[in-house]
Amino acid sequence: MKKIYILFLLISVLTIFFSGIGLFSIKYSMDISNSSSLKISSNPQGANIVLNGENISEKTPIMFSPFPPGQYALTVNLEGYYPFEENIVLNGGEKKSFTADLKKKRTAQLIVPGDIKWIKDIPNSNRFLFGTTKDRISQIFIYNTQSKKTSLLSGITSTATFPFEWSANGKKMLLLLQNGSVSEFAFYDSEKISIEKIFTIFNEYFEDVKWSVSDKNVLFGLKNNIIYKLDIKNKTAEKIISDRVDDFFGDDSYAYYIVKDNTKNFLKRTSLNSLSDSVQVPLQEFAEYKLMQSSKSLISLYDQRKKEFFGYSYNIFDDSEDKNSLIFTLKVKNIYWDAKYDDLIVYSDNFVNIYYGKDKTAKTVDRTSDSILKAIFIDESSIAILSTRGDITLLNTDNDKFFQEMVYTSVGARDIISDNGKQVLYFLGVENEKPGIYKIDLF
């Protein structure tokens, strides 16, 4: 009788204990030989615990002993820190200790208030550019991330300004200046800290202008289906290709361009030293291609009709039947190339593909629960992803695996840039009804 009384008393105590901490609904076995224990700690301590959706009244650190074996969904919450989630499997008789290393929530600091139209990083620099409009006139400013000072660039009289690509050495940025229906190209020189118009140098307006991918002082311009080589140092414009050119780019040796012949499309390469040295590769018919030199080892074609990217290695011109020249075919939203690492990010609404190095080894991360607005390199192994709802996620690679970490949750972020490997992000958006450029320290 005494043993029964002691057993009843023990069951009553355990029932009150588990009921008090919110685990009464979790099934457990009183088989002492099969009993387990679970210790949950956190760094820092004093965090709230949720097990299988039920709140525990005590805070970390906490020891559950005895504790029923099974599978548990653990969430550890602490104000000012990101929630930590983990699935725990506890076997019969197992004594397990678990520590949740909580990461502090990052805050965004407003560094440039106002209605900012765009933001653009300057490669290998502690500065970035941003654009505004005042009295219907476009303005471009330089922000120094060390001195935290802003300076205005003079020489712009357009109603709108759109930034494009950087030159091969990352010192000059192509701009499109727009006045009503009239558009013209110019470039910003980060060394001279000045803006020069293409028309002022060459006395010609061009339909499209692109930097040479290898020469910092050379541009290629398109006018009336003719490709010009534009030398901004010597101020010379040379006609090099006269064909039914639809899109183009060039380097110091070749011009690469799309030619349309009724419904047929061709990708052509012509030597700048010998214009008779020309090779063409047939492409799909009825397509509407945009051509881009995505990296030093990759050419990308974007079919605007099918919304599809094709990535080719340069040996496609050596043997168009070589199946190995086709690196990827993807239905994607956008393509981003980092000139510093010669790596490529290709992203769509819900996935990111990264192609590393000369051989373009592919790695893919699936983000089906979120729609991607932009993806950029922070350094050689880290990528920042901005979602359409404003979340910023850090993507790290280690041993061919992806590790995702939420960096910041925003409702108004619409663009991001990095600070050239300094583990700092800047985003353009609105926080607490205050528009402007915000800074986030990643570490």
Q: Give the whole-angstrom CA distance, residue 304 versus residue 289.
A: 6
Q: Which of 40, 70, 101 is the last residue of a domain?
A: 101
Region of 283 please: left (phi>0), alpha (psi -120 to 50) or beta.
beta
The two structure tokens encoding residue 246 = 């639809």
- CATH value at residue 443: 2.130.10.10
Q: Which of 75, 101, 127 is the last residue of a domain?
A: 101
User: What is the domain extent for residue 385?
Assistant: 334-443
Q: Is 154 inside any structural domain?
A: no
Q: Please enumerate in sequence order all residues whose Cβ is within 8 A of that of 200, keeping only pairs 6 or more positions apart, or say none.
A: none
Residue 409 sits at the vertex; the CA angle it makes with 407 and 414, to the nearest 5 degrees, is 100
Q: Is 267 inside any structural domain?
A: no
The per-residue pLDDT for range 256-299, each reduced to its tens digit, is 999 988 888 899 999 998 888 899 888 888 788 888 766 667 78
Contacts made by residues 113-120, CB under 8 angstroms, sequence distance 24+: 113/434, 113/435, 113/436, 114/435, 114/436, 115/435, 116/428, 116/435, 116/436, 116/437, 117/161, 118/162, 118/163, 118/415, 118/428, 119/415, 119/417, 119/426, 119/428, 119/437, 120/163, 120/173, 120/417
* pLDDT of 176: 92
- CATH value at residue 21: 2.60.40
Q: Is 203 inside any structural domain?
A: no
The count of C-alpha atoms lying within 13 angstroms of the C-alpha of 428, restricted to the half-sphere facing its C-beta, is 19
pTM of the model: 0.74
* pLDDT of 29: 39
* pLDDT of 294: 64
Give me the number of domains the chain comprises: 2
Q: Which of 70, 101, 132 is the last residue of a domain?
A: 101
Q: Is 241 inside any structural domain?
A: no
Please report the beta strands in 52-148, taking only residues with DSSP state E, as ranges in sequence order.
54-56, 62-67, 70-77, 84-90, 95-101, 109-113, 118-121, 127-134, 137-144
| H/E segment holding residue 261 | strand 254-261
Q: Is 309 inside any structural domain?
A: no
Q: Is 410 inside any structural domain?
A: yes
Q: Please enumerate in sequence order all residues whose Cβ is within 8 A of that of 62, keeping only pairs 6 or more positions apart, or say none.
A: 39, 40, 49, 56
* pLDDT of 323: 54
Residue by residue, pLDDT tens for the chain (443 residues) are 445 555 445 555 454 444 444 443 444 334 455 678 899 999 999 999 999 989 988 999 999 888 888 899 899 999 888 888 888 898 888 888 889 888 877 888 999 999 999 999 988 888 999 999 988 889 999 999 999 999 998 777 788 899 988 888 888 999 999 888 888 999 999 888 889 999 999 998 999 999 998 888 999 999 999 999 999 999 999 999 988 898 999 988 999 999 988 888 899 999 998 888 899 888 888 788 888 766 667 788 888 888 888 888 888 887 655 556 777 777 777 777 776 676 778 777 777 777 765 555 666 766 555 688 888 888 877 888 888 888 888 877 665 555 667 778 777 899 999 887 778 999 999 988 999 999 998 87
Q: Is 173 inside any structural domain?
A: no
Q: Is 128 inside any structural domain?
A: no
* DSSP letter assigned to residue 105: P
